[in-house]
Amino acid sequence: MKILKDTTKFGKFFSDSYFWKKLQKKVKKIGMKVTYAALLCYYVLKSPDVSRKDKAKIYGALGYFILPLDLIPDYVPMMGYTDDLSALLYCLHSIWKNITPEIERQAREQLYRWFGTINENEIVLLLPSDDEKTSE
């Protein structure tokens, strides 16, 4: 799945307005895990301390996420967002050193606004432990 490892070419499809529009419209359908991954990427993107290389990765992953044409079409039941999640997780893994407690807080606050409660079991596996962050 080379396409998911090099999502930078999808950056041209990213826009703030379409990102928020898609998330707000699809949040219940895509679930907490995909939403949290997308929010983490978005808030890292908005951080002034992130390198251009990491921002390019994020633009690509978020561009792929909002693009309606995917490897697995979004409308496919139970599977439609697995490729989007894979692209977002690959991106998160490569940029996790940029995920600050403030960014995690922002993403969790938005999750809470949309879902009411946060299922820690669903989102805990998205981020490395503090030990893994420092060993990178």
Check whether 136 has a pLDDT greater than 60.
no
pLDDT attached to residue 20? 92
**In terms of pLDDT, which residue wins out, 128 or 104?**
104
Q: Using a pLDDT cut of 90, give the percent of the chain over it.
A: 40
In degrees and rounded to multiples of 5, residue 76 shows phi and psi of: -70, 120
- Mean pLDDT, rounded, for 110-120: 90
- Nearest-CA neighbor of 29 among 63, 72, 79? 79
pTM of the model: 0.81
Instruction: Please report the DSSP string for 25-67 in residue order.
Output: HHHHHHHHHHHHHHHHHHHHHT-TTS-HHHHHHHHHHHHHHH-
pLDDT of residue 129: 56
Instruction: List, in order, residues 6 or more apart from 99 with CB less than 8 Å away.
Output: 40, 44, 92, 127, 133
For CA atoms 38, 41, 45, 46, the dihedral sign is positive
Tell me what pLDDT residue 54 has.
94
83: its two tokens: 């490729």
